[in-house]
Amino acid sequence: MTSKRPTFTDKEALDFHSHPTPGKLSVTPTKPMATQRDLSLAYSPGVAVPVKAIAADKDLAYEYTSKGNMVAVISNGTAILGLGDLGAMASKPVMEGKSVLFKRFADVDSVDVEVFSNDTEELITTIRNIGETWGGINLEDIASPECFIIESRLREELDIPVFHDDQHGTAIIAAAGLINACNITGRELQDVKVAISGAGAAGLSCAGLIRHLGVRPENILMCDSRGVVYEGRTEKMDQFKSAFAVKTEKRTLTEAMDGADVFLGLSIAGAVTKEMVASMAPNPIIFAMANPDPEITPEEIKQVRDDAIIATGRSDYPNQVNNVLGFPYIFRGALDVRARSINEEMKVAAAQALAELAREDVPDEVAAAYHGSRPQFGRDYIIPTPFDPRLISFVPPFVAQAAIDTGVARKEIPDMDEYRRSLARRLDPTASFVQSVQAAVREKKARIVFAEGEEPSVVRAAFSFKNQGLGEPVLIGREEQVTRTMQQMGVPEGSLEIVNARLSDRNPEYTDYLYDRLKRQGFLRRDAQRLVNQDRNVFGSCMLKFGDADGMITGVTRNYDVALKDVQTVLDPIPGRQVIGMSMVINRGKTIFIADTSITELPVAEDLVGIACESASSVKALGFTPRVAFVSYSTFGNPMGERAEKVREAVAMLDARDDIDFEYEGDISVDVAMNPGHKLVYPFSRLTDAANVLVMPAIHSAAIATKILTSMSRATVIGPILLGFEKPVQIASLGATVNDIVNLATFAAFDIDMLGHIPAAK
């Protein structure tokens, strides 16, 4: 099987972890440090007050420190990913990554701790002595069977949640999938017969959790490298495997799978054959979760069974068993009730929550992740996608309630509905937008033109675009020069398609079209021929016009206006639409859109109306609910001024129309528009929440705003995204980074179905 997994060079991976700052974490203060008074409150003498309070009652650390939202990710590096025992320091990049996921998906602060010891007792002592510093501990990449002993002892000796994710994370997600797979196939958990390949941390935890869910112990056949774990076996046994030993005559995985309803694979690639799959019961449930490659591929399963429900650990197949669906939200719920532990009931609650969420109608953000195809609960959708924005508000309440019900919570949640709403506010779902766009375009395999194909950054971007599975890049340039650049960049020769505009056999048709288009504008046929032969933007645009490619990215070597003029030579706006540039600003989990940032320099009222309609339509197509603010230096006429008048006129023009289906308001200043509580001062405002689409009065104000955000905050600015052309084209800025180029190329690919067919704004 040809792997579909995103790939990258070693240099790209090292660059990612080293630039612009080494590592993936930093510390951001939550209190101001601008004055002497701030310093006095934060440190001395003000800090003495909470110190004394905590000395009298240590639980007050939850009130006066970050303990209540802080998790330690701890490892000794004895079982790093699939790489084995490489030592504590080698585990640090992985532990940092885990901390990033905690923050990204559940707004849980986290710090990585690497312990330089392989001695079980020493490791337990070290973690116990520092453990109460945090609200919870996530153990990671610790070898089996030591991980069982360490977790068990720490759970007994510490008064905070201790959770070994390698064991329980996979088990929780797999259990959720199993609940739904049984639902689809009409099975009851207590009746299913399960074969498990792999008796390590994850395998044993899966067996334990599904047993807790109701699967009968005698129906679970655990297999390791020596075969079935049965009563009386002595070879390669320990206390943890013995807990799953059953009376059976079966001795091999092949025998265990014969007639089994369920297979859970947590072992190695190739452990299962097609013959084993063929021997399973009707409608088999097969979770082949070995990473990076499953025990048996879905393609091989489908060759012998067309009735199987299949899950893997891979993102390029349906039903990915992904731990990121579990640990962030389990800790979120546990921390919010100040839980003393994470017990079996809380894990079951998480699994049931995930199973229930997969059965719900999916929101627009999930549909966007599937490129407009809305997944429905069924054989290919039994586990929620990590892009589902509801996870943060859906799963933690189940976990928190289970903690309260089982008596391990220090804190009650009096209003669970308000708790759900507060969780939804913690993380704006748009923070996952870029990833969901990427997930969407991987399904399309769009053919994207990289017009400046001889440039090193463009070659690297095209190679990255292809290796991430985002589409098929086409480099326009001279073969010799492009090949030379590829060699310099370490890009394998022959890995990218190259098209030489001058030598293309499509030139006659392109020239005919362009001459017919331009002949009444003073162009001779030879002028049209020269443009097709020599101007790569013109040639690339012709490729789009004739359907020889699906989208284009350019602009790295030319000013934006020059590149735009080249494109306009060939392509027209969509009828009834206005071409605009819209910048997307993502910062701390929130996304806003700013328009127009690149096309109309000094828009009049009619232009502002078109910009608003184009922006709102596109933002809606991208999965968001547009709330448009026509921003100005004034707010509702205060102060009055000539320059604000065109903004007020644009709003009046929208007021006079009856076909507007989005919220809008203006004239309004930015600080008021983006304040969700502005209706307290202006109760007549038509915006139901903070604005997320800012229509600027001119290009210079739009450009200044986006550049300030880029320079002075951690905001990620994507764009300007070009909208309104009949074919998807994106124009990068001069000297754009590889990541910028890849992002815009991704939008060009995404544009094909999502943005190119939006109903025209009237």
DSSP code per residue over 676-732: TTGGGT-TT---SS--SEEE-SSHHHHHHHHHHHHHHSS-EEEEEEEESBSS-EEEP
Q: What are 716's strand-pairing partners?
A: 586
* Statement: residue 412 has pLDDT above 70: yes
80 is in an annotated binding site: yes
* Statement: residue 755 has pLDDT above 50: no
Residue 314: band (very low, low, confident or very high) from pLDDT cuts 50, 70, 90: confident
46 is in an annotated binding site: no
CA triple 727-731-734, angle to 5 deg: 165
User: Looking at beta carbons, which pairs linking 52-60 to residues 24 or more positions away fall under 8 Å?
Assistant: 58/132, 59/338, 59/410
What is the pLDDT averaged over residues 672-681? 88
Q: Which pLDDT score, from 0 to 100, does residue 718 have?
A: 79
Q: Which pLDDT score, from 0 to 100, does residue 362 have?
A: 73
Residue 3: band (very low, low, confident or very high) from pLDDT cuts 50, 70, 90: very low
What is the pLDDT averaged over residues 718-744? 86
**CA 301 to CA 320: how far, in whole Å?**
16
* Statement: residue 274 has pLDDT above 90: yes
Pick from 278, 317, 327, 325: nearest CA to 294? 317
Q: Which pLDDT score, from 0 to 100, does residue 709 have?
A: 78
253 is in an annotated binding site: no
Q: Which pLDDT score, from 0 to 100, does residue 15 have?
A: 85
For the chain, the average pLDDT equals 89
Q: Which pLDDT score, from 0 to 100, does residue 468 have?
A: 85
**CA 28 to CA 283: how far, in whole Å?**
51
For the record, the structure tokens of 170 come out as 């996979």
Among 309-318, 428-437, 554-563, the range scoring the smallest mean pLDDT is 428-437
Q: Which pLDDT score, from 0 to 100, does residue 713 have?
A: 65
Higher pLDDT, 363 or 355: 355
What is the pLDDT averaged over residues 602-612? 91
655 is in an annotated binding site: no
The share of the chain scoring above pLDDT 90, in percent, equals 63
What is the pLDDT averaged over residues 637-647? 82
What is the pLDDT averaged over residues 600-625? 87
Q: Which pLDDT score, from 0 to 100, does residue 642 have?
A: 73
* Statement: residue 762 has pLDDT above 60: no
Residue listed under structure tokens 């362009």? 514
Higher pLDDT, 321 or 166: 321
Residue 52: band (very low, low, confident or very high) from pLDDT cuts 50, 70, 90: very high
What b-and-e string marks burial along 146-173, b requiring 16 or more CB atoms within 10 Å of the CB?
Answer: bbbbbbebbbeebebbbbbbbbbbbbbb
Q: Which pLDDT score, from 0 to 100, does residue 656 have?
A: 93
Q: Which pLDDT score, from 0 to 100, does residue 11 have?
A: 85
Residue 4: band (very low, low, confident or very high) from pLDDT cuts 50, 70, 90: very low
291 is in an annotated binding site: yes
Instruction: Reduce the DSSP state of residue 639 to 3 states and report it.
Output: coil
Higher pLDDT, 27 or 514: 514
Q: Which CATH superfamily is domain 51-160 in?
A: Malic enzyme, N-terminal domain (3.40.50.10380)
| CA dist 544 → 16, 443, 533 (Å) | 33, 20, 16
Q: What are 551's strand-pairing partners?
A: 448
Q: Tell me whether the omega of the peptide bond preceding residue 667 falls within 30 degrees of 0, making it cis.
A: yes
Q: Which pLDDT score, from 0 to 100, does residue 473 have?
A: 96
Residue 758: band (very low, low, confident or very high) from pLDDT cuts 50, 70, 90: very low
Q: Are strands 162-164 and 136-139 parallel, antiparallel or unpaired?
A: parallel
Q: Tell me whether the omega of the peptide bond preceding residue 318 falls within 30 degrees of 0, making it cis.
A: no
Q: Which pLDDT score, from 0 to 100, does residue 430 have?
A: 42
Among 211-225, 358-372, 641-655, 720-734, the range scoring the smallest mean pLDDT is 358-372
What is the pLDDT averaged over residues 304-333? 93
The share of the chain scoring above pLDDT 70, in percent, equals 94
Q: Are strands 227-228 and 220-224 parallel, antiparallel or unpaired?
A: antiparallel
Same fold, 51-160 and 164-424: yes
CATH assignment of 441-569, given 3.40.50.300, 1.10.10.10, 1.10.260.30, 3.40.50.10950?
3.40.50.10950
Highest mean pLDDT among 61-70, 311-320, 355-364, 573-582: 61-70
Of 67, 92, 98, 519, which is the active-site residue? Answer: 98
Q: Are strands 220-224 and 627-631 parallel, antiparallel or unpaired?
A: unpaired
CATH assignment of 580-724, given 3.30.70.2740, 1.10.1740.110, 3.40.50.2300, 3.40.50.10750?
3.40.50.10750
346 and 339 in contact (C-beta within 8 Å)?
A: yes
What is the pLDDT averaged over residues 469-485? 93
| CA dist 35 → 17, 30, 42, 46 (Å) | 35, 15, 11, 14
What is the pLDDT averaged over residues 426-443? 67
Higher pLDDT, 714 or 170: 170
Q: List the domain boundaries for the chain.
A: 51-160, 164-424, 441-569, 580-724
Instruction: Name the phi and psi angles at 251, rounded to 5.
Output: -130, -15
731 is in an annotated binding site: no
724 is in an annotated binding site: no
Among 99-103, 368-372, 538-542, the range scoring the smallest mean pLDDT is 368-372
Q: Does domain 164-424 have CATH number 3.40.50.720?
A: yes
Q: Which pLDDT score, from 0 to 100, does residue 754 have?
A: 47
What is the pLDDT averaged over residues 245-262? 96
Higher pLDDT, 355 or 460: 355
654 is in an annotated binding site: no
* Statement: residue 193 has pLDDT above 70: yes
The model's pLDDT over 282-302, given as tens digits with 9 standing for 90+, comes to 999 999 999 888 999 999 999
Instruction: Name the phi and psi angles at 588, rounded to 5.
Output: 50, 45
84 is in an annotated binding site: yes
Instruction: Reduce the DSSP state of residue 627 to 3 states and report it.
Output: strand
What is the pLDDT averaged over residues 81-102? 91
Residue listed under structure tokens 């690297």? 460
Is 98 assigned a catalytic role?
Answer: yes
159 is in an annotated binding site: no
* Statement: residue 662 has pLDDT above 90: yes
Q: Which pLDDT score, from 0 to 100, does residue 425 have?
A: 73
- Residue 532 region, left (φ>0) first, then alpha (ψ -120 to 50), else beta? alpha
Q: Which pLDDT score, from 0 to 100, does residue 699 have?
A: 86
* Statement: residue 757 has pLDDT above 80: no
